[in-house]
Homo-oligomer: A and B are copies of this chain.
Amino acid sequence: MPERRPRKDAARNRAAVLAAADELFARCESPEDITMADVAAAAGVGKATLFRAFGDRTGLIHALYEARLAPLRAATEQGEPPLSPAGPPLERVPALLDAVLCFKFDNRHLALALEGTGSGSPYQGAHYESFHRTLTGLLGQIPGFGGADTDFIAHALLAATRADLVEHLVRHEGADREQARARLADFVARVLGQG
């Protein structure tokens, strides 16, 4: 399996498409109203190129999302405490959820586009799986969660950071970034028994 590297033009086009798509998704009102043809045009590329590089619409959005997600993954895996594995669970759980919320807030356009893929629920995605696993593990290490259903609690906590909820808070309740963080932090503290 030689894993031959892509040609120069292919790489350049892939990057152009990612940049164009990022731009378009960021500007538009709703992810629904940017089409694959739009992206292709904005990137100065044919539609087929776009589909060849990413498979389908979902693939493109996924690629964008994953690229943005990389820093967060890095921070949680080998960053600084309290986010990194070195932090104590009781501090790491709120830190992790705060980080996820910030990410969702800063990238709501992408997150919304991803959730709006239709049949693709967010619970299949590798990113979700991974966050859920770490959260579950951390909860298990916290005193007071001995016999508790950490699996579901992790789901429920992550559900409080869902992109469309964040979007709703911003659009219809006029929340800003810091307010959203504070509200989530309160809720998390309450769940952790620090209310």
The quantity of this chain's copies bound in the complex is 2
Interface of A, secondary structure class, is helix
**Would A164 and B122 be within 8 Å (CB), given that A152-B187, A183-B152 are in contact?**
yes
Whether the Cβ atoms of B151 and A173 lie closer than 8 Å is yes
A residues 116-152 near B (Cβ < 8 Å) are: 116, 118-119, 121-123, 144, 148-149, 151-152
Contacts of A152 in B (CB 8 A): 169, 183-184, 186-187
Of A13-21, A77-85, A88-96, A155-163, the segment with at least 4 beta carbons within 8 Å of chain B is A155-163
A residues in contact (CB < 8 Å) with B: 30, 32, 116, 118-119, 121-123, 144, 148-149, 151-153, 155-156, 159-160, 162, 164-165, 167-169, 172-173, 182-184, 186-187, 190-191, 193, 195
